[in-house]
Amino acid sequence: MTRPRKELVDIADTRYYHIVSRCVRRSFLCGRDESTGRSYEHRRQWIEDRIHILSSLFGIDICAYAVMSNHLHLVVKLSPEEIAALEDYDVVTRWRYLFKGPHLVQQWYKGERLSETELNEVKSAIAVLRNRLSNLGWFMKCLNEPIAKRANEEDQCSGHFWESRYKSQALLSENALLAAMAYVDLNPVRAGIAASPQTSDHTSLKVRLSANKKAEITHKPSPKDKAKRYNQFVFKPLLPFKRSASEPSESELPITFHEYLQLIEFALRKYKNQPEAGRLLHNFELANQINSASWAIDSTQFEKIYRQRFSKKPQQVQRAA
C-alpha cells in the first residue's frame, strides 16, 4: 500500500535521497525530437542551472546529478540545520529569490511599521517559509514547475511536462549512497550518449572533474524569468568529498574524491567487460567494506536492485512528499 509522502522522506532515517523525475510519456522534451529534427538540448542547461540555484537557497546539498534528454536524477543530502541557523531576515531574503511572499512579510522586509498583531503574523509566516526551505517537496516543486512553464511557453502549448510528481529513494547506507552517486554520474555513459565522464554534459561528475567551484548560469533569462534576480548570487558548491583519510565531517561525503574516481573507473571497466577491473578495488575494498564483486551491479543497475538490497522497507520506494 502506498505510504503518505511525509513518511517517505524522514531525516530520522537518513539525510540522503535519490530523486528521479521523468518527462511525460518519457518523451525527449530535453533532447532531440526524431520526428521533427528539432533540438531541445538547451533545456538541460535550464535544469542544471536551476538545480544549483535552488541548492544555494534551500537546506539541501547536491551530491550528484545527471540531466538527461527525458529525465533527471539527483542525489541529495537534507541539511535543515543550515536554514535553522538563519536569521528571519535571511530566510525571507532567500524566499524572495523565488516568490514575493505574503504581503505582511513584504512590508516587514521593507522596514515598514507594523502592529504587534501583524508582527506575530509575520513571525508565524516566516516559520512556514523556514520549514519550506528545508523541505525536499518544495525544492522539487521549485525545480520542476518553472521548467515546465518555460518549456510550454517556448513551445506555445499547455499541459504536463513531467509525467508525474518526482519519486524518491532513501539511501540508508554508505554503499547505497555511493552506488546511487555512481549510477547517476555514469548515466550518460550507460545510455551511450557520452564516451566518458569528462564528456558527460550536465552531470555533477563533469563539474567536479572540471574543478568548477561555482555553478555558472549560462542561459540568458527572458524578462519573465525570475533567474534575472541571480546576477550577484553566491552559489553553493556541490557537497564535497572528504579531504583526507581521517573521518569525514558532517558536511562531507564519506570518501575522498580520488577513492570515488576509483569506484567510477571500476564501473567503467565493467561496462567494457575488462576482467582485470576487479584488481582496482582490492585495497580500497579492505578499507571501506565495498565488495568489488557486487559494486558493478550496485553502480550500474541501482534502480533495478534497490528494493531488494538497500531499502529498509519496500514501500519506501515511492513518490516523496
| DSSP run (H or E) holding 18 | strand 16-22
136-195 pLDDT, tens digit each = 999 999 999 999 888 888 878 888 888 878 888 899 888 889 989 999 999 999 888 888
pLDDT, residue 41, reads 84
pLDDT, residue 307, reads 56
First CA to last CA across the chain, in angstroms?
A: 16
Kindly report the pTM of this predicted structure. Answer: 0.83
Residues across the chain: 321
Report the DSSP beta bridge partners of residue 321.
Answer: none
pLDDT, residue 38, reads 74
pLDDT, residue 214, reads 46
pLDDT, residue 33, reads 66
Which residues contact residue 38 at a Cβ distance below 8 angstroms, ignoring those fewer than 6 apart?
A: 32
DSSP letter for 203, please: B
Q: Which residue ranges of the chain lie beneath pLDDT 50?
A: 1, 212-228, 276-278, 280, 286, 310-321
pLDDT, residue 13, reads 81
Cα–Cα distance between 76 and 302 in angstroms, integer? Answer: 16
pLDDT, residue 215, reads 45
* Residue located via cell numbers 535521497: 17
Cα–Cα distance between 27 and 34 in angstroms, integer? Answer: 10
Number of C-beta neighbours around residue 76 at 10 A: 26
Q: What is the grid cell recorded at 92?
A: 525571507
Q: Which long-range contacts (CB under 8 A, 24 or more apart) does 264-273 make?
A: 264/182, 264/185, 264/186, 264/197, 264/205, 266/292, 266/295, 266/296, 267/182, 267/186, 267/295, 267/296, 267/299, 267/300, 268/186, 268/189, 268/196, 268/197, 270/296, 270/300, 271/189, 271/190, 271/300
Cα–Cα distance between 56 and 4 in angstroms, integer? Answer: 28
pLDDT, residue 151, reads 86
